[in-house]
Chain A
Amino acid sequence: AQKVTQAQTEISVVEKEDVTLDCVYETRDTTYYLFWYKQPPSGELVFLIRRNSFDEQNEISGRYSWNFQKSTSSFNFTITASQVVDSAVYFCALRGAGSYQLTFGKGTKLSVIP
């Protein structure tokens, strides 16, 4: 069975602060993929990043960075210098290599206050 836990239900930060969203996962698969999606109030899930289990390099994309640690089964997401437009619900998700379906966490609602 696969499971994704996002322990932070809601986070509020003041604009320009850095914020880290936590994601812990469980899987028996040796090869798997981890994802982050952003869901703004409009409802669409916007793909942010995919990370393969065999690639533990951290990634930075502009103000976004991801820290994948296989030893602790975590895939955390940091937004640097947050902006109001970052306000959304963020979902972490997991898919086994032989699977077709995503297992999502419950999401973290991020509010960036001007």
Chain B
Amino acid sequence: DTGVSQDPRHKITKRGQNVTFRCDPISEHNRLYWYRQTLGQGPEFLTYFQNEAQLEKSRLLSDRFSAERPKGSFSTLEIQRTEQGDSAMYLCASSLLPGVGNTEAFFGQGTRLTVV
């Protein structure tokens, strides 16, 4: 297992188009997180899953955003009707459950979205 992987690494799309990103977490990790990072800022929490259940969504996650984690394995993040303000790095992370072991989150390399 080589860690958290994200696909694609880069995505350029026209305003108004839909985009979907994929995240494959570390295999034994129950928790999966999505963060967004804009230029010059630290990552901001978007949502997280425990197994297949989406347990929390940030106010940053507008109705145009939807995330899924079918079967508690990989996750997808879809943005509908993209806007220029959606341009950012989208980071996925995964971790073990508290009490199972160290609970630090391990991050993927991110998907950089540019909306033109």
Contact = CB atoms under 8 A, between A and B. Distances in A.
Interface in A14-47: 33, 35, 37, 42-47
A101 B107 contact: no
Contacts of A101: 33, 45, 48, 56, 58
A102 interface: yes
A97 B98 CA distance: 9
Interface residues of A, number: 21
B87 to A, nearest CB: 14
Nearest to A49: B104
Contacts of B104: 33, 35, 47, 50
Contacts of B55: 100
Contacts of B43: 45, 91, 102, 104
B105 A102 contact: yes
B107 A45 contact: yes
Interface residues of B, number: 26
Contacts of A45: 43, 91, 93, 107
B12 to A, nearest CB: 16
Max count, chain A CB within 10 A of own CB: residue among B31, B33, B43, B58: B43
Contacts of B108: 44
B80 to A, nearest CB: 24
A107 B41 CA distance: 7
B56 A43 contact: no
A44 B107 contact: yes
Nearest to A47: B104
B48 A50 contact: no
Q: Which of B33, B42, B43, B93 has the most CB of A within 10 A?
A: B42
Given A35-B104, A43-B110, A101-B33, 17 more contacts: A43-B109, A44-B107, A44-B108, A45-B43, A45-B91, A47-B104, A50-B102, A91-B43, A100-B55, A101-B48, A101-B56, A102-B35, A102-B45, A102-B105, A104-B44, A106-B41, A107-B40
Interface of B: 31, 33, 35, 40-45, 48, 55-56, 58, 89, 91, 93, 102-110, 112
Interface of A: 4, 33, 35, 37, 42-47, 50, 91, 93, 100-107
